[in-house]
Structure 1
Amino acid sequence: MNQQLKRLPDFKQIQAVQSWYEPALELLNKLLERNKANLRRRGYSEENAAITREEFRQQLARRGRITLYLAGEIETSLYNAQMVEFMGGYIRPKVGEL
C-alpha cells in the first residue's frame, strides 16, 4: 500500500490518510479505556492513563491491516490536525475528541 500512496497526487494521499481518522480515534479510545480500567482496578487515578505511541501504531497496523509506515503517517496527521496530544512516548486523544 505504501507504493500506491506514494504514486497518488498530494491531495489524494492526504485524503487517504484522513480517511483513517475516525477508525484510529476509535481504536485509541478503546485502548485508553482498557488502560483506565487497569488503573481503576489497581486503585490509581484514571487521569494518568495513556497509550504508548508504539503500541498505538502497532495495533492500528494490525487491526487495520496496513503497514507500520502508514500507521505512523496517520498518527502524525492526527497530531497535526490537533486531534491527539503527544506526551513524550505516549499519545492520548485531546479532551472532547470522539
Structure 2
Amino acid sequence: MSISQQRPFLLSQLLVAHHATNSTGHELVLGGIHGCYGMMLEIFARASFDKELCRLFSVGDLVDRDPQSLEVLRPLCEPCFFPSSR
C-alpha cells in the first residue's frame, strides 16, 4: 500500500511549487530574519542579489524582534519575490 493510500491527508497538505529554471540569475532563499533589515541587506550584498535578475523565496520568520519589520517586508512586493504572478 502506498503512502497516499495509507495517509491521504498528507498529500492534501503538501505545498510544493515548481518554477521554471532561472536562466538570468540565481535564487536566494531567505528566512529567520526576524525584522533585522540591516542583516537582510548584508545577506543580499554577500549573495550578489540583483532584483532584476535573481529570484527571492521566503521560508518564514521574516518579522518580529527588530523594529524594522516593515522594511523587511518590502521586497515581498517586488517582482523578484516568488511565488509571484508573473
Task: Kindly indicate which of the two structures has a greater share of residues assigned to strand.
Answer: 2
User: Radius of gyration: which is bigger?
Assistant: 2
Same fold (TM over 0.5): no
Greater share of helix? 1
Q: Give the alignment's TM-score, normalised by structure 1.
A: 0.27
Q: Structure 2 length as normaliser, TM-score? A: 0.30
